[in-house]
Structure 1
Amino acid sequence: MLMKKCNHQIGGFALTTVAWLLCCISTGLPQWQVWHYEDPVILKPTVALVGMWRACVFHTDSNSSNTRVCYQYKYGDSIPLYIRVNQHLLLVSSFLGLFGKITTIIALSNVRMERVQRNATCNPFRLSGILNIIASSFLYLPVLFNYIAIMLKWKVAFPPSFNFPFQPDTQKMGSAMALAIISAVFFLLSGTICLSSNLAIGKMPRSKI
C-alpha cells in the first residue's frame, strides 16, 4: 500500500540525483563568466572563461586554431572575495545534495520494508526535503553573486602570471551558470516533493493486522 504512494517520491529521488550531478558539473566548469577583450601582448581579440576554480584563455596560433590554456587557482593566489565565497557555497551545496540523496534512499527503503515512523521527528523524507531545499539556497547564492559581478562589471585582480586584464571589454554569463540554475530548481522541487510526501504518509491510516 505504501509503495503505491511512493511514485512521486521516486520522481523526487530522480530529481535529486540529476540536481546533484548538475551541481557537481557546474562547480568544475570554467564557463561561469565569458570575457571578451583585446590581448595587450598579441593585440588580438581574446576569449577567456572565468570559473570558480580555474580560468581559461583561448590563444590563436599561426595555424588559426584555438588553444585553450587554463590556470588553476591556488590557495595563496589573490582572487576576488566573491569567488572564494562561491567556492565554499558550491562545495556545501554539493555535500548537502549528496546527503539528501542518501536520506531519500533510506526513506524509500523504509517504505519498502514498511518501517515508516509516521510520527518520528527525524523522518528520512522530511530530512531529505530540508537538505535539498537548503542545497538549493546555497547553490542559488553563487549564481546571484556571479550575476551581480557581471552586471556591475566588478574588476578582478588575478595573479600577474595569468595575463588577464582587470576588466574585460565585454562579459556575459556562461553555460555553467545555466546548469547551476537548473540544479537549484531541481533541488527545490525535490525538497518540496519529499516534504509533501512525508505529510501524505503521516496522514495515512494504520493498517489493521
Structure 2
Amino acid sequence: MTYLAHYANAQLAALWMGCVGWTFTIMALGLVQWRVWKVPDNEVISSGVAWVGLWRVCFNSYTVVTPGFKHMYCSYIDLTDAYTPPEIASGQVLMLLSVVVGLCGNAGGVYTLRNVFFGMDKNSPIRLLFITAGSLCLTAAGMSLIPLLWTLTSVVNNQTINFPPDFKMPKEPDSQSVGCGIVIGLVGAVLMVVSGVNFCRYRLPERSRASMQPSLSHEVQLDGSAAQGALTSSGGINNPAFESHEHV
C-alpha cells in the first residue's frame, strides 16, 4: 500500500488546514472581542469601548475593576439568563460542539494518513475513512458558522442587548463593529470546510491494465512451467502409442 502515498498529498495539506482551522475555532471561542461597542459613557467605561463575547462582557475602567485585573471590568454571560441573546446562547453550545467534532475529524485524518503512508492496517477502507473524517470537519465548520454568521448579522443590524445593571453597560451603543473573534472564527470555519472537501474528494488510484498484463502473462508462464516440471518429476513413462499418434 505504499503507492497510495503518492495520491494523498492533497489530503496531507487538508490535515494541516484542518488543524489550523480547529485552532482558530478554539481561539475564537475564548476571545471576548466578538462585538465592539462604542459607548457614550466614559465615566465607568474609561476608553469608551466595550467588548461583548460569548462568555464575558469586558471594558477598561479606572473606577470599577474585576479582582485579578489591573484596569478591566468583566461580567460573565450565563446561558440560562433571560437577557442572553439567542445568537450568544447558540454560540456557547455550538462552538463547543464544533471544537469536539473538529478534533474527531482531525484525529480521523491522522489515522487514515497513517495507514496510507505507513501501511499499518492494509485492510482498512481508506476512502471510507477519508469521507468520515471529511464529514466530521464539514459538520464542525457548519456548527461554528451558525453562531458566527448570526452574530455578524446582529452587528450589522446594530442590535442591542438588555444587560442587567450590575454589568454597568449602557442600554445601547452609539455604534458597534465586528471584532477579531468573529474574523478568526470565520477563517477557521473556512479552513475546516476546505479540509473536509479535500478529505471527501480522495479517490483510490486505478492501475492501468497495461501494467497488469505483463505480470499476468508472467504468472501464466510460471504456472505452466511449474505444471510441466511436476509432470516430469513425477517419474511417469512416456506412452509410445500416444507419441506416434501425435506425429500423425
TM-score (norm 2): 0.73
Q: What is the match of residue 129 of structure 2?
A: 124
Instruction: Tell me which moved more, 167-176 or 85-94.
Output: 85-94
Aligned partner (choices 8, 11, 16) of residue 9 of structure 1: 11
Structure index of larger Rg: 2
RCO greater where, 1 or 2, for CA within 8 Å and sep 6 or more? 1
Cα–Cα, structure 1 residues 119 and 107, in superposed 2: closer, same or farther, change >3 Å?
A: closer
Matched residue type, 1:102: A
Counterpart check, 1:180 vs 2:182? no
Partner Cα distance (1:91, 1:117) in 2: 31
Partner Cα distance (1:116, 1:160) in 2: 63
Q: What is the match of residue 94 of structure 2?
A: 89
Q: What is the match of residue 67 of structure 1?
A: 71
Provide the alpha-carbon RMSD of the alignment: 2.5
Matched residue type, 2:162: A
Counterpart check, 1:104 vs 2:109? yes
The answer on whether the counterparts of 2:47 and 2:60 sit within 8 Å (CA) in structure 1 is no
Deviation track 1:7-48 (CA, whole Å, cap 9, x = no partner) reads: 211111101100000000001100100001122755866110
Cα–Cα, structure 1 residues 47 and 5, in superposed 2: closer, same or farther, change >3 Å?
A: same
Aligned partner (choices 155, 165, 168) of residue 163 of structure 1: 168
Q: What is the match of residue 199 of structure 2?
A: 194
Give the unaligned 5+ runs of structure 2.
64-69, 220-248
The answer on whether the counterparts of 1:38 and 1:44 sit within 8 Å (CA) in structure 2 is no
Counterpart check, 1:38 vs 2:40? yes
Matched residue type, 1:58: N
Shift of 1:73: 2.0
Give the unaligned 5+ runs of structure 1.
none
Cα–Cα, structure 1 residues 130 and 41, in superposed 2: closer, same or farther, change >3 Å?
A: same
The answer on whether the counterparts of 2:44 and 2:168 sit within 8 Å (CA) in structure 1 is no
Aligned partner (choices 119, 122, 126) of residue 115 of structure 1: 122
The answer on whether the counterparts of 2:37 and 2:52 sit within 8 Å (CA) in structure 1 is yes
The answer on whether the counterparts of 1:39 and 1:45 sit within 8 Å (CA) in structure 2 is no
Partner Cα distance (1:43, 1:95) in 2: 36
Deviation track 1:92-126 (CA, whole Å, cap 9, x = no partner) reads: 21111101011101111221216264587xx2100
Displaced runs of 4 or more, over 4 A: 40-45, 116-120, 206-209
Partner Cα distance (2:72, 2:45) in 1: 17
Deviation track 1:119-140 (CA, whole Å, cap 9, x = no partner) reads: 87xx210001111111111111
Cα–Cα, structure 1 residues 157 and 4, in superposed 2: closer, same or farther, change >3 Å?
A: same
Matched residue type, 1:177: I
Cα–Cα, structure 1 residues 176 and 143, in superposed 2: closer, same or farther, change >3 Å?
A: same
Aligned partner (choices 51, 54, 75) of residue 52 of structure 1: 54
Partner Cα distance (1:9, 1:181) in 2: 22
Matched residue type, 1:159: P
Identity among equivalent positions (%) equals 26
